[in-house]
Amino acid sequence: MRLYVGNLPYDVTEDELKGQFSTFGNVTDVSIPKDKDSGRSKGFGFVDMPAQAEAQAAIAGMNGKMFKERALTVSEARPREEGGGRREGTGGYGGGGSRRPTRRY
């Protein structure tokens, strides 16, 4: 079961997060997405726990828990939406209208 962990401190490491959730059971993977430009954490992460009972216990035990002076938000992760969040369409140029100057009489 994949868990979403929100409101993470920006300086938290994957090892620290794994340590927090390991008290509830086996953790198979931890990932904290980074901002492409700054390389800093985006403030959320994901924890994979194979046993559903252990994952539910982690949700109950960690949701709202203070971690490095921040109250964590923990829930079951939702599946990723189709398209990866990219917008389809004109590419932001709006379109329409002529590029020729208008004549004024």
pLDDT at position 103: 66
Q: Could you report the per-residue pLDDT of 18-58, keeping only the tens digit for each? A: 999 999 999 999 999 999 998 899 999 999 999 999 999 99
- Helix, strand, coil percent content, the chain, rounded in steps of 5: 25, 20, 55
Mean confidence (pLDDT) of the chain: 87
Q: Is the pTM for the entire model greater than 0.95? A: no
pLDDT band with cut points at 50, 70 and 90 for residue 79: confident
Give the chain's domains with CATH numbers. Answer: 2-78 (3.30.70.330)
Average of pLDDT values for 7-22? 96
Average of pLDDT values for 52-80? 96
pLDDT at position 100: 63
15 backbone dihedrals φ, ψ, rounded to 5°:
-65, -40
pLDDT at position 97: 55
Q: How far is CA 70 from CA 76, 91, 103, in A?
A: 19, 38, 61
